[in-house]
Structure formats: structure tokens, C-alpha cells
A and B are shown apart, each in its own frame.
Chain A
Amino acid sequence: MKRKVGLQYKLERAGWLFLAPALVILGLVGLYPLAQTFIVSLTDARMASGEPGRFVGLRNYGDLFQLKPFWLAVRTTVLFTAVSVTIELILGIAIALILQSGLRARGFLRAAILVPWALPTVVSARMWNYMLVDTYGVVNDILVTRLHLLPEKVAWLAEPGLALMAVVAVDVWKTTPFVVLLILAGLQLIPRQTYEAAEVDGASWWQQFRSITLPMLTPTILVVVIFRTLDALRVFDAVWVLTRGQLGTETMATYTYRQMVDFRKIGFGSAASVTIFALIAAFVVVYLLAARSATGGDDQQ
């Protein structure tokens, strides 16, 4: 008994040593910057001026909340998130169902759909940019010249409403594979017998989907939605590469980047950073509470 206590003491001490490198690094690049961002957001600091900036209280926040461009960026981000996550979820479930119905080429197919996910967003954005060029782009070529689905060529990246949809297209193409993989993992958890029983009862495919697949997939879907939403709310790469935030595609992240890097307003930009952080944190809390009550609070997720 005594030795066990001694061992536990030893492990406890070694544990903090084991944790030390990771905690130091995370403190340095995570927690300290977060605290620092909050402090700086209360000053009028500017990059490269060399001075730490004067304390101005909550004035940056007051200014920020009165600016229309900021709220526009918030609105655009929320719109982008809602549209892209919805499409990704529907498409992801559909593709997962197709892939699931066992077939031999499954390994190849899974790898094929994983490829877009593995690419740098910058690369997929440039590929789509090339495809979406109005005059010689292949998307217009297919839709207008070959299939005659549209009467004339569309300037995908030059019109306000469409530019955001181009960003959505890049995001959907790149991240649907992630959704597919998680849904596939979720589908594997549904026992086969459930379907066999339904088959015996003569339930149609749609009835089985509605009354078995969807309900049993709910926990997975909840996980997918929070992961994808968190990612979508901080979207930067695709927007920056495709439009630089022009044409109604300015998001919270590109807005903040512009304030900090282009205008060098560190204090003001930090206020925007803190606001983004607070918005995302608030979303997570609300979502987790809602998810808990939706699933009866009995699962260990």
C-alpha cells in the first residue's frame, strides 16, 4: 500500500514534467496571446509605431460596433457559414450513403473523395478561380456552351452575390469529404439488424432513412455541424485568394486581417479579434447546451 502511494507521488511529479513542454508552448502561442489581444484591444496601439499605445478603455469596441462594414462582415460570415454547412451536410450524407452500400472499389473511391480535403485551401481556391473565369473558364464552357443550361456566360467572381457563392463552392468542394468520413463512421454504428427488421416489415427505402438512419445518425450530425461551423466562422484563405474580401465577401477574419495588417490598427483590430472570439465561444456554449438537451443529455460526447 505504501509503495503504491510512493509510486503515485512519483507519477504525479513526472506527469507535470511530461506536460511542461506542451504547456509552455501552448501558453506562449495560445493563452498569452489571447490575454495580450484582450489587453491591446483596450489601447490605441498601431503596428510599427514602436509605442505600446495609450489606454482608451472600451472605445475600440464602441467604434467597432458602430461601423457598418463590421456588421456587414459578421452578416456575410454567418450567411456563408449557414449556406456552406447546410450544403456540406446534405451532400455529405448523400455521398456517404452511396459509398456505404458495399462495393469493391470503395478504397479507391474513399481516396478519391479525400483528395480535395487534403489540398491546401489556397490551391483549391486557385484551381476554382481558373475554372470560374468568365470568358475562358471551364464552368461557363460546360454550363453555357456545352449544356446550354444558362443563356449567357456568368461573371462568377465579379458580381457581389455570386462571388460569395464562389467561395461557398470552394469550401463545399474541399470540406465535404470530411463530412462524408464522419458520417460513414456514424453509419457503421447502426446495427444491421435494425434494417433487416424494417425490411421484413416492408418499410420503403425512404421510410428506413427517415425512421432509422437519420435518428441514429443525429449524434454524428451534431458533431459534424459544430466542427464545420467553427471552421466556417473563421473562413479566411478561400476569401482572401478569390476576392481579397471585395464584392460582398468580406468576412470577420478578412476584416480583422485588413485592420491589423493593411491599416496597422493593432488596438482596433484586436477589439475585432476579441469580438470574433466571443461570438464563436458564445456559439459553442449555446450549441453544446442545445445539443445536450436535444440528445437527452445521456451520451458521453
Chain B
Amino acid sequence: MILRRILYLLALLLMVVYALFPFYWALSGSLQPSEKLFAIPADYFPWPATLESYRQIFADEVFLKGLRNSVIVAGSVTLLALATGSLAACALARFRMRGARIVLGLILAMTMFPQIAVLGAVHAIISFLGLYNSLAGLILSYMLFTLPLTVWVLTGFFQSLPRELEESAYVDGAGPFQTFWRILLPLASPGLAATGLLTFIAAWNEYLFALSLTITPEARTVPVVIANFSGATVHETPWGAIMAACIVVTVPLVILVMVFQKRIVEGLTAGAVKG
């Protein structure tokens, strides 16, 4: 029995180390003075630590712009997806529309869309709209992979609300929008939070469109900036700065995960299990 307990704790420990070690190693790398980064054998404790790498990236105009752009893009994508997605989901779930099933099926199919399959045409349409190399272009194109999931998950949430809910409102003469805004939307707020978090994370992390639809630092988001970080030669990769940038980008996500893990899990499982 004791042996089993020990084995069990060992498995737990192994799991946590596996999940968190790369993160620790990046943190350690970001805190080491540059000459110790390449030490053989590796030094597992970054002591004495230095904030030199952080100073370096926070003096880097391109990185700062990337951070700013990422915040704007991920925030706007989340708001836009929630606004349009909740309206659509409400109609699909509550209005007993003819054709709702077909629309919902189409939207479900779109959650499986490979981005690469429409890359060229999205590039063309974004350019046609004059939005190439702009944050607006990124925000619009990100709807492709955020909006279908938002509609899908929120439709499930709206469907789970009791049927009689809005009847009395209609009897009292309230219109569909009033009913949606005053009665249904507040009740769906857990769903809004869950899908909003997933949307934000997806937009914050996106790389392919960000890489293809932008060309200057003015519009580049932080994943592109981090992927492009490089030294003069292969042997001069500025790992300290890269790891510092990785940590900076990761911190808001870690906080989100720690604070909202229950909501995130709800959103993930709702999106998948109902699929």
C-alpha cells in the first residue's frame, strides 16, 4: 500500500515536472547573464540572476509594438466574436427558425476549416478591402477560426436555458432584441466568459495569418515577432532575449489559466463534447 502511494506520488511529480520544466528552463534562461546561457554542463540555477534580457526586450520597439498589437487584436476579436456570435446563437437556439439546423450544421463544419486552405483567398480579400498589413485585417480574418466555435458553444448554452423563460416577456410585449438583451444574455454570461476566454487565447496565439497578412512591425503581433527574433548568425541566437520575450507573453496566459481554469475547462469540454 505504501509502495503504491509512493509510486503514485512519483507519477504526479513526473507529470508536473514534464508540464512545467520547459517553462522553468525558459525563465532560467531569461535570467542568466548571456555568457552562462551557453554553459556546458548546463547550470540549473540562474544565480546570480540578471534582468539584462528583460531590459533588452523592453527597449525593443518592435517587441513593444507586437505586444500592443496583440492586445488590440485579441481584445477586439473577442468582443466582435462575442457580440455577433451571441446574437446568432440566440436566434439559432431560441427563435425556432426554419433553417436553423442547416445554418448550425454549416457553422459546425466551419469549425473544422483548415486555415491554410483559404490563406491565398483571405489574403486577396483582405488586400482588396485595403486591410493588408493592418490590425483591422487581422481582426476580420481571425473571425474565421473564432466565430464558428463561439456560435457553436453559445448555441448550446442558450439551448440549455428553460423554454418558458422568454414567453412572459413576449406576452408583456417585449421585442426579440429586448428579450435577448435583458433576459437571455445575462443568463448566458458563464457561456460568454468561457467562449470569450477561448477566443482571446486563440487570437493571442495565432501565427499563420499574422505571418501572411502583415509585413511591417506596425501590424505584427507578438508571435510573429518572437518567431522572427534572431541573431546575426545561427550561433548567435539571442536566447536570453527570446526566452524573456516568451516569458512576458506567457505571463498573462498563466494568470488567465490560474484565475479562470474552471471556465476554460467548461468552454473546452462544451465545444468538444457537444461536437
Contact = CB atoms under 8 A, between A and B. Distances in A.
Interface of A: 7-8, 10-12, 14-16, 18-19, 21-23, 25-26, 28-30, 32-34, 36-37, 40, 47, 95, 98, 101, 107, 109-116, 118-128, 130-131, 135-138, 141, 145-146, 173, 177-178, 181-182, 185, 220, 223-224, 227, 230, 233-234, 236-237, 240-241, 252-253, 256-257, 260-261, 266, 269-270, 273-274, 276-277, 280, 284, 301
Nearest to A172: B18
B116 A25 contact: no
Interface residues of B, number: 93
Given A112-B20, A126-B226, A181-B268, A33 B125 contact: yes
Nearest to B235: A135
Interface stretch (B45-53, B186-194, B250-258): B250-258
Contact of B88 (A18, A40, A146, A173): A18
Contacts of B205: 119-122
A234 B115 contact: yes
A100 to B, nearest CB: 12
Contacts of B73: none
Contacts of A110: 261, 265
B201 interface: yes
Contacts of A136: 37-40, 42
23 contacts: A12-B97, A14-B175, A18-B88, A21-B88, A29-B122, A29-B143, A112-B19, A114-B257, A126-B229, A135-B40, A138-B25, A173-B22, A185-B265, A220-B273, A224-B272, A236-B115, A240-B227, A256-B116, A273-B117, A273-B118, A273-B119, A276-B114, A277-B114
A25 to B, nearest CB: 5
Given A118-B254, A119-B250, A182-B269, A37 B118 contact: yes
A140 B200 CA distance: 36
B249 interface: yes
A276 B117 contact: yes
Nearest to A277: B117
Nearest to A32: B125
Contact of A37 (B84, B120, B211, B239): B120
Contacts of A224: 272
Contacts of B208: 236-237, 253, 257
Contacts of A274: 117
Identify the 10 closest CB pairs spanning chains A and B, nearest first: A33-B121, A18-B91, A14-B176, A120-B205, A22-B88, A33-B118, A36-B121, A15-B91, A15-B95, A277-B117
Given A23-B88, A37-B118, A130-B29, 11 more contacts: A14-B95, A14-B175, A14-B177, A29-B122, A116-B23, A120-B204, A123-B223, A125-B227, A141-B41, A145-B41, A241-B227
A178 B11 CA distance: 19
A113 B207 contact: no
A115 B8 contact: no
Interface of B: 8, 11-12, 15-16, 18-20, 22-23, 25-26, 29, 37-42, 83-85, 87-88, 90-92, 95-98, 100, 103, 107, 110, 112-125, 140-141, 143-144, 147-148, 151, 170, 175-177, 180, 201, 204-205, 207-208, 211-212, 222-224, 226-227, 229, 239, 242-243, 246, 249-250, 253-254, 256-258, 261, 264-265, 268-269, 272-273, 275
